[in-house]
Every structure is written in C-alpha cells, then in structure tokens.
Structure 1
Amino acid sequence: METMISESSNNVTIHWFRHGLRLHDNPSLLEGLENCSEFYPVFIFDGSVAGTKTAGYSRMQFLLETLRDLDENLKKKGSRLYVFMGEPVKIFRQLFEDWNATRLSFEQDPEPIWQDRDNNVKDLCDACNVEWIERVSHMLWDPHVILRANGGSPPLTYAMFCQVTEIVGLPPRPVEDPDFSKVTLPVSDHHDRLYGVPSLEKLGIVAECEAQLSPYCRYLGGETKAAALLVSRLAKESKGFSLGQVQANQMYPDLTGMPMSLSPHLRFGSLSIRKLYWALRDTYSELYPGSSVPMSVTSQLIWREYFYCMSVNNPNYNRMFENPICLNIDWYSDDALLRKWKEGKTGYPWIDACMRQLVQEGWIHQVCRHAVACFLTRGYLWIDWQKGLETFDHYLLDADWSVCAGNWMWVSSSAFEKVLQCPRCICPVRYGKRMDPTGTYVRRYVPELKNMPMNYLFEPWKAPESVQLEADCIIGTDYPSPMVDHRTASKECKEKMEKVKGKYRDDTPHIAPTNEDEVISLIWMRKQHGETQMCDHSDEKLT
C-alpha cells in the first residue's frame, strides 16, 4: 500500500516522469520534495511509455522536444533529467540501491494499459521498503471518484457524466510551483553522455516523407512552448467571450493559421489540464463578474474526462471485440480502399487535404477528424473504425489511448444511438466548403488542384475538360477520380446501419450522445433555418 509521507528530512526521492512532463501543477512532484534531502528526476523509455509503442515521426519528435525542455527547466533549478532505457522494475531496483532511494513519486496514469506496469513498480517499492506517492493531475477529477459517485460504473452519456461531476464538485485548482532550493540535486559530470535525452536517430525513428521534415505548420514540444501558447490562446478566447462567442476557434476554425490547439501539450502533460480549465473559467469571470460560467467554456475538456472515465477498468476499450461498451458491427476489410484513405487519394479534395495534413504535420483540427472518420466508417466506405484508430494513433501528436478510441467509437456509430444512425452524414463536399470557404486549405495540401477554379475545387470531377486542361490537372490522371459515388455509398451505409439497429434493439450499454444538439455541438455544425449542414446527398450528383 501507499504509505504516509515520511516526516524525516533525509528522504532521497526519485520522481518518475511518464505523462505530466512539466514542473507546474505537479502534486506528486511537490509531495516528493517534502522532507527531501536529495532528488532525482527520471524518465524511462520502456517501449510503451507515453504512447511510444505506436508513435510515428512527428509525435516522437514532439516528445523528445518536451523532454529536452523539461531537462532545460530542471537545469535552471540545478538539476537534470535522468533518461534510461529498459524495463522500469529492473531500472528502479538498481536505482534504489545506487542512490539509496527512500521514496518514489509519480503522477497517476489512470488508463488500464498502464496498470500492470505501475502495480509491478509499486510491488517493488513495497518489497524494498521504498515509499511511493501517486497523485492525480493528468485529469481534472480522479476517475475512480467519478465511478463511485455513479454507483461503480461509468456514466454512459456526456450529460450523465456532467451531472455526476456536479455532484462531485469543481476540480482542484493547480498547486504551487515546486521549490528545489532546500534539496540537494546531484548531477553527473558526464550527464549528457550517460543520461541525456536521446536523438530520433538513436531511437531509430525516421521521417516517412520529405514533408514531415519541413511541414507547413509544426507544433513545438515542451512546457515553455505550452505556456506561451496558452497566453495566445487565452487572448483569443477572451476576445471571443467579449463578443458572446464560446470556443471561437472551434466554430470558426482557422485551418491554415498558426497552430493554436493545446491538445498535444495536454496529451504529454507539458500543460496541466487543471491550469487550462481554471484559466478559461477565470478569463470568462473577469469579463462577466458575478455571472455563472457556462459549461460550454470548458466542454471540450470535459469530453476528454468523459472518455477517460469510460476507459477505466476496461482494457479492451480500444477494440471492438470483448469491449462491453462497443457494438460488434460487420465492417468491411478492404486494404486498397484503406490505403487510398490513408494516403489522401480518395478523390475528394477536402478529405484528402485532411489526411495529407495528418501525415505531414501530425495534427488536424477536430472538424477534419470527424469528417475523415465518418468518411472511412459509417458514412461512405464502411471500413472498421479500428483501422482508422490505428492510423490516428500512429500519426497524431495528441493521440490519446482513451480519447482517440472514444471518438472513433462515437463517430462510427459503434456508440449506438439513433442520432448518429440517421440518414445524414458528414458530406465530403458541403462540409469542406463550409470549413474552407476560400479553398486555401485544400490548395495547400492538395497542390494538384491549386489552379482549379473555386466552383469546382471541392468537386473537381465536375469540371469540364477545358477547365481541367487550363488548371493543369486532369482528373483520373493528375488527381484521382472519386473512389466511390458518395451519394450511392452513403445510402448503402445507411441501409447497413439500419440492419445494425435491428440487431441491437435491446438496450446495449455503449457510449452515446444524449441528443441531436450534443452531436451538432461536438461536430461543430451550425443550425441554419432549422437545418444542419449534414446531408443525405439526395440532391447531389457526381456528374
């Protein structure tokens, strides 16, 4: 069991960084420094830590930048980050002996995939009479508290989750920054050679394409970059709040501007989720003192919590079979269609632009994620959502085991609910036009179409031959023809989903949206004259 914090001032503490790669708002680090005489910060590449098992070039680059920044920030305090490679239990057994450690502190990793690792290390600590300290700061709430408040099981809808969090109460505010001034911080004279952050080359990570080496936009990792980005993001949110807008960057996304999302930093913990949550609330309150803060101000952060809680105690959460909250659907398996989708060669410029940005930069806006996920699964290709999850899990900077899988189940209708099985789906033409009204985004990532007139840009197969010649882009030669007739494909998928609905008429536990407004909010569809910009393609033709 976790022991009480020792009152002795002679503790030798090792802090184990995994997620939570920051110094600010780090309660386990803070407690590790209490009554501490000597301190060692450690990171271990064990083949899986922080999602490295499935990470591609961009995410590994971001992680290494984050670790270097952490090392630099520790250096300013007089310490350094000790980086090791191997199995945590073996490494800690040796470090406990070499450093005479009496205490190990670490942030809680709540997802089930980390429990065996953490339990094995806790067992080692108990066997070696080393105190261990585990604290919650990767989430707003301790997920086990949420589950207990809901009777022992996760809330199956977002609305239910919000009701439970109201009972639990607001999450804690961030803790103060750590004070290293009274602690000895040993550093080897040969630290960089023995314990330095490795390079991509040393880890065997290489770029898959030239564009990954010099992308249009690149997120930079680290707590320092996260802090600067937070300031810019709060300024933008404050402006939106003053105009009566909430989540302005979501409803009106700037797809070609500088990266503004903080999700990669939340994923690695270089920014505290609690710091962002309270910064948003406080920014709103400063503008509207005395007014209650709308839940929409922090709703995207609450969605993250919701998916995390859904995954607790469910090791099969990221797969379809043996997953108690996911429907088993007879998806197609078509490697050729899957490859075209992954490579951004579907023949639908909006979809292709999204997928190419994903591969090149490791990030796409949420509106892009919903569009390509719908296209691959229930909307048009009827391909297994797990294949899409594997792609996202490889390329996305912010690919998160719980959130990523939850979103794929939700959008693919494996989260069974009538709203998502309605005739409408995310149109690869209309939705693209709405999100990219000037065509700048599509032209950037699908340069074959850079000269295509705007009225044909999202449907280039409709362009007359003379227009294609003038645009120096012949459809079927320079840019692919549509891989499916989206009008026909969507109707076929609708019929398949109706059969699924018939198969699961009983109440089957699953992740589910509460109502249509919640769907529209999550996918950022504005209602216009009582209608959304989702469609059933009944009035569209390919020619």
Structure 2
Amino acid sequence: MTYNMTVAVHWFRNGLRLHDNPALIEAVNKADKLITLFIFEENMYNTDVIGYHPMRFLLESLDDLNTSLTKLGGCLYILQGNPVKIFNRIKEEIGLNLITYEQDCAHNGRIRDELVVQYCNANNVQYIEKVSHTLWNPKTIIDTNGGEPPLTFKKFQTLALSINKPLKPINNVDWSTVSFGKLPVTLLEELKALDNPTTQDFGIVPEAPEINNSYNCWYGGETKALEKLTDRLNFEKEAFVNGFYLPNQINPNLLDPSYSLSAALRYGCLSIRKLYWELSKLFIQNFEGDLLPQYSATSQLIWRDHFYSMSFNNEYFDQMEDNMACLKIPWNDIETGENKQMLEYWKTGKTGYPFIDAGMRQLLQEGWVHHVVRNSLACFLTRGDLWISWTEGLKHFLKYLIDADYSVCSGNWIWVSSSTFEQILDCPLCICPVSYGVRLDPSGEYIRRYVPELKNMPDQYLNQPWKCPDSIQKEVGCIIGKDYPHRIVEHTEVARENRKKMQSLRISLMNSSMVPHCRPSDQTEVKQFMHLPEECMDQLFLNDNLTTYEHLHIH
C-alpha cells in the first residue's frame, strides 16, 4: 500500500505537556496527520512497582493532556503493550512515517528506545529523539568528561556550564496548522486502548485508609503544574526580596502544602527549562547578577541533572553490586527474621521513633515527604540505626513517592546512606531521630498529625515517648507498647556500633586502592543537602576529620 501523506506519531512518555516540547514540535512540523499516544508498557505499571498516589498522579496527568488535546481537535490515545508491536500495527493499518519522543535517561528506557530505533531502521520509519527532560544532554556531559560522569556536584556544575547554559524553552505549537489522525476502532480494541482509566483498572487501591483525609494532595497534569509554577515563583520572589534563596531548604515547612514542583518535573508536566529560566530571571532581577553561584536558586535543578548523568550509562544504578557510583557496605541480611521485621516496621511507620514514623506514614497517606524528612528516614534505615541496605529503601520510595524518579531517587539514597564513605556524613547529631525531629518539628504538630496516637502526649515526651511516666501515659490515653510501639532499637547504642563499622570500612579503604564513586564536593554542600545545624558541622571537625575527608577523595 502506498501512502501519500506523512503520518507522525508523537510518543508521550515523561514529557506530559504541550509547552516547551521540542519532540512534539518536530512531529507537528513534519506531519500531514498527527497521532499522539501514551503506552502502558508490559509489566511496568503493576502493583509490585507503583503505588496508589504515583499512579493517580500519572493518570491525572494523562487526563489533563487528553483534555488539552481534545480542545485542539485531537486526543491522547492510551494504549497497552509492547511499543514496537504497537508501532508496527499502526504502520500496517494507516501508515507510519515518523515517530518522535523525548529522550529517556533511565537505562531500561534507553534499551526500549534502542529496540524502537532498530524497528524504524528496518521499516523505513524516521525517528527523532529530543533532549528536554534535562537541562543538559547526559551523553554530552559524559563525553566531555572523557567518557565517565563527573562524580561530584561541583565538578558536574563546572563542566556543564563550560559547555553552555541550558537551552531556553522553545515557542509553543501553532495548533491552527495541525491535522490530527485517527486510529481505527478495531485497532484500538486490539491494542487495549483505555478511556479515562482509573487506578482500579490496574488493580491499584489506596494503601492507607487515611488517604481519603489527606492534609495535602498533589494533582497531576500540565494545567496544575503551570498554576503551581506561578505560586512557586511568587514564593521564591518573596525570598529573594528578603535577601536569600533556597527557601525550601533554609526554612523547611513540614505542615503546609509544599511549593515543590518535583512531581511535575518527574512526569514532565512542567518543563525543567522553563522552571530554570523563570527562576534565573527572578534571581537576576533581584540580585543583579548572573545565576552561577554553586548554591543558587537553581542548584536543586542542577543536582537533578547530576544524578541523570550518573545513571545514564549505569544499568546497575539502583543496585549495590556492580554499581560504579557507590562503594560496597556489608549491610544486614534482610532475609533473616529479625532484620526482615525491622524493615517492615520502618515501612509501616512503627519504629517507636515518632518523627520517623510520622514521615513513613505521611509517605503512604500522601505519596509525599519533605526532602529533609526523607533524609532522616534514609539515615534511620541505613547507617544511622537499622543498618539495612539503601536499595530496600529505594524500592519503597520508588513505589510510593509521587516524584520518585529512578535516577534522582537512586542518587539521593546512595548519597544519604553514606555509600560514598564520607566521614562528614557520619555525625551523630545529624542522624539522631530524636534531635533531628525536635529541630525540624519544634511544635510537635507534624508528629501529632501523622501519629495521632501521640496527639495528647506532653511536648517533653513527644519525641521520646518511652521516657513518659506510666501515670501520664494512662492520663493521655497512650500506653507505650500497646497504643504506640516500643522502640525497635536503642538509637544511642546502634548508632555507636554503626559508626564503628563505618570507621573500620574507612580504614580498610585507606589501605587499599579505592575505586571512583559518587561523593560530596565539600562541607558546605553536605550542610545544604542535609539541612545540618552549625553545632553538627563544628563537631565534625573537632578532631581533624577534614584530613580523613581529604584523604578519601580521589581527584
């Protein structure tokens, strides 16, 4: 059969938006008939790997995108199956000349895309991949660095900015010139097309009954993302006017709705380039300078790109074995009964440490936790208390966080778990689940919100309920060991033992040839990332720890 028109498919994956979408622009410019679709790939969206809130957010994003396309005369086809087979059936039924899509930085996604490229080359179908999920092309970063990703944030930032500043967002599509194509009904039935799917269609239901009464809810879609961008810029502007930036880090607010756009960025409902340049414009207007400082308003976005470059060619980035981004720690075996139970207590928010439990319960209830709380949860599971591998925590976060991005989430877990073997991360003050909770939640309202058993507990016992006298426990209606669990470990004891383990590992590394690994650039970077108090930083360097820190670096 001969086709006299160009049929183009724009394949939506992460970039679930119409604005600043260069791959979509390519399809529009070259197509006589445009088809827009999303594919639920086999075994990628089942109950083992994705929880209620991430799936809800994704489906809301798809619905919003479909609504926008419908207003323009088209629609978003939501299909199920193997992408290569789907494209082949479209070609057989109506013809297919071009497939466009946004670059996928995850290794598994790139393997899938390579199969699509092979199909296109073998079947005379043009394909166009465009970089727009990141500020820089990870491949360019790696090639410029001699074939390896930069192992510190500072080196990444210096290298990236030496290449070029991030590209500015492109103009929006002129939809008046677009003619949409249609897929036959019989083909849609064959490809198991979904019309306004719900989480129940995938067998995914809320994990916690409190979900229906969540204090905070994040909604998916480009429309909501752009509205939230306006709120975020106003929030940043207020901070700039007051002479500081990174307000989410300087004054973390655990209670009110977050200004974070990480979920919108994860699914591409908001362009990373649009956010970067809008923040840059605000910064320049208020500080009258170029946006280059290491810890500037856009540094969190550049961190994101740093982790993408680390994972780009690393198929083991979510594992410990064979992962060049981290060093190996002999964590506790979770197959043993006690350790397996400890992991389950952590997952369900029943550790007996109120601040930790509040964070873990919020995760299940809302699919969200502030990044400073995430740090404490990661520390508690790994080097701080339970000595359980970061890979177990990663799997849990990837399943339940609405902004859980494979590359960024893996990188954060590697970093915070001290799988970088940096002594600067081993301060007992920064990982204590009691003192950290008191500092971040001085009113106790965060704990009382998510651990309601403790709502009447006096302030002096709220973070350490095991110290509360029996008479007061009875008076407030919360018996420790009955209404709220006993501590599963005694922090002071296990933290002391864990630091000994870390020190032993560090000494063995000093006496051997270390391999390159992802690590902090300097003390200031750690302080910013972990939200550490000054007294924590002071204690770290009382005994010339800096010498050890420098020794462990490989330059």
Q: Report what 1:263 is aligned to.
A: 262
SS in 2 for 1:504: helix
What whole-Å deviation, never above 9, does each CA across 1:164-214 have from its counterpart, x for those lacking one? 012112110111111221121135797899552322222211222212344
What whole-Å deviation, never above 9, does each CA across 1:399-428 have from its counterpart, x for those lacking one? 111111111111111122232245554111
Summarize the alignment of residues 399-478 of structure 1 with structure 2, pairs less than 5 Å apart.
399-422=404-427, 424-478=429-483
1:527 aligned to 2:520?
A: no
Match of 2:181 among 178, 183, 186: 186
Q: Report what 1:517 is aligned to.
A: 524
Q: Report what 2:129 is aligned to.
A: 134
What whole-Å deviation, never above 9, does each CA across 1:280-336 have from its counterpart, x for those lacking one? 111112223355553421111111111110011110111001112221211012111
SS in 1 for 2:7: strand
Match of 2:353 among 348, 352, 356: 348
SS in 1 for 2:425: coil
Cα distance in 1 between the residues matched to 2:331 and 2:216: 35
Structure 1 residues 376 and 165: alpha-carbon distance in aligned structure 2, compared to 1, 3 A threshold = same
Amino acid at match of 2:152: T
Structure 1 residues 142 and 88: alpha-carbon distance in aligned structure 2, compared to 1, 3 A threshold = same
Q: Report what 1:72 is aligned to.
A: 67
Cα distance in 2 between the residues matched to 1:243 and 1:528: 25
Q: Report what 1:308 is aligned to.
A: 308
Q: Report what 2:166 is aligned to.
A: 171
Match of 2:141 among 146, 150, 168: 146
What whole-Å deviation, never above 9, does each CA across 1:350-380 have from its counterpart, x for those lacking one? 0000000011111100001100100110011
1:379 aligned to 2:384?
A: yes
Cα distance in 1 between the residues matched to 2:56 and 2:320: 30
Q: Report what 2:104 is aligned to.
A: 109
CA drift at 1:122: 0.9
Structure 1 residues 20 and 286: alpha-carbon distance in aligned structure 2, compared to 1, 3 A threshold = same
SS in 1 for 2:143: helix
CA drift at 1:454: 1.2
Cα distance in 2 between the residues matched to 1:265 and 1:361: 15
Of the structure 1 ranges 213-222 and 490-499, higher mean CA displacement relative to structure 2 is found in: 213-222
Which consecutive unaligned segments of at least 5 residues does structure 2 have?
543-555
Structure 1 residues 532 and 520: alpha-carbon distance in aligned structure 2, compared to 1, 3 A threshold = farther
Cα distance in 2 between the residues matched to 1:67 and 1:308: 24
Structure 1 residues 51 and 32: alpha-carbon distance in aligned structure 2, compared to 1, 3 A threshold = farther
What whole-Å deviation, never above 9, does each CA across 1:12-67 have from its counterpart, x for those lacking one? 11000111011111001111111321100010101356898711111001100000
Summarize the alignment of residues 197-276 of structure 1 with structure 2, pairs less than 5 Å apart.
197-276=196-275
Cα distance in 1 between the residues matched to 2:402 and 2:76: 22
Of the structure 1 ranges 140-149 and 322-331, higher mean CA displacement relative to structure 2 is found in: 322-331
Q: Report if aligned partners of 2:319, 2:391 keep a CA contact under 8 Å in 1.
A: yes
Structure 1 residues 73 and 482: alpha-carbon distance in aligned structure 2, compared to 1, 3 A threshold = same
Match of 1:63 among 58, 64, 73: 58
Structure 1 residues 127 and 529: alpha-carbon distance in aligned structure 2, compared to 1, 3 A threshold = closer
Cα distance in 1 between the residues matched to 2:302 and 2:45: 21
Structure 1 residues 194 and 423: alpha-carbon distance in aligned structure 2, compared to 1, 3 A threshold = closer
Structure 1 residues 534 and 476: alpha-carbon distance in aligned structure 2, compared to 1, 3 A threshold = farther
Structure 1 residues 188 and 99: alpha-carbon distance in aligned structure 2, compared to 1, 3 A threshold = closer
Match of 2:19 among 18, 21, 24: 24
Cα distance in 2 between the residues matched to 1:528 and 1:276: 34
Q: Report if aligned partners of 2:427, 2:536 keep a CA contact under 8 Å in 1.
A: no
Structure 1 residues 462 and 484: alpha-carbon distance in aligned structure 2, compared to 1, 3 A threshold = same
Cα distance in 2 between the residues matched to 1:483 and 1:466: 23
Q: Report what 2:288 is aligned to.
A: 289
Q: Report if aligned partners of 1:52, 1:60 keep a CA contact under 8 Å in 2.
A: no
SS in 2 for 1:105: strand
SS in 2 for 1:382: coil
Normalising by the residue count of structure 1, what TM-score does the alignment of the two structures yield?
Answer: 0.93
Cα distance in 2 between the residues matched to 1:509 and 1:464: 51
Cα distance in 1 between the residues matched to 2:238 and 2:319: 41
Amino acid at match of 2:197: P
Structure 1 residues 279 and 292: alpha-carbon distance in aligned structure 2, compared to 1, 3 A threshold = closer
Structure 1 residues 19 and 510: alpha-carbon distance in aligned structure 2, compared to 1, 3 A threshold = same
Corresponding pairs, count = 528
Cα distance in 2 between the residues matched to 1:88 and 1:162: 35
Q: Report if aligned partners of 2:57, 2:218 keep a CA contact under 8 Å in 1.
A: yes
1:118 aligned to 2:117?
A: no
Q: Report if aligned partners of 1:426, 1:534 keep a CA contact under 8 Å in 2.
A: no
Structure 1 residues 106 and 379: alpha-carbon distance in aligned structure 2, compared to 1, 3 A threshold = same
Cα distance in 1 between the residues matched to 2:481 and 2:440: 25
Structure 1 residues 50 and 304: alpha-carbon distance in aligned structure 2, compared to 1, 3 A threshold = farther
CA drift at 1:393: 1.0
Of the structure 1 ranges 397-406 and 176-185, higher mean CA displacement relative to structure 2 is found in: 176-185
Cα distance in 2 between the residues matched to 1:421 and 1:528: 14
Amino acid at match of 2:67: E
Amino acid at match of 1:162: Q
Amino acid at match of 2:331: W
Cα distance in 1 between the residues matched to 2:156 and 2:87: 38
CA drift at 1:68: 0.2
Q: Report if aligned partners of 1:25, 1:174 keep a CA contact under 8 Å in 2.
A: yes
Q: Report if aligned partners of 2:363, 2:369 keep a CA contact under 8 Å in 1.
A: yes
What whole-Å deviation, never above 9, does each CA across 1:269-288 have from its counterpart, x for those lacking one? 10111111111111112223
SS in 2 for 1:231: helix
1:481 aligned to 2:489?
A: no
SS in 2 for 1:23: coil
SS in 1 for 2:373: helix
Q: Report what 2:276 is aligned to.
A: 277
Q: Report what 1:5 is aligned to.
A: none
Structure 1 residues 146 and 530: alpha-carbon distance in aligned structure 2, compared to 1, 3 A threshold = closer
Q: Report what 2:393 is aligned to.
A: 388
SS in 2 for 1:134: strand
Cα distance in 2 between the residues matched to 1:386 and 1:343: 17
Q: Report if aligned partners of 2:249, 2:531 keep a CA contact under 8 Å in 1.
A: yes
Q: Report if aligned partners of 1:431, 1:533 keep a CA contact under 8 Å in 2.
A: no
Structure 1 residues 534 and 199: alpha-carbon distance in aligned structure 2, compared to 1, 3 A threshold = farther
Cα distance in 2 between the residues matched to 1:309 and 1:484: 37
Normalising by the residue count of structure 2, what TM-score does the alignment of the two structures yield?
Answer: 0.91
Q: Report what 1:361 is aligned to.
A: 366
What whole-Å deviation, never above 9, does each CA across 1:408-457 have from its counterpart, x for those lacking one? 11111112223224555411111111111111111000000101111111
Identity %: 45
Question: Which of the pair is proportionally richer in helix?
Answer: 2
SS in 1 for 2:29: coil
Q: Report what 1:540 is aligned to.
A: none
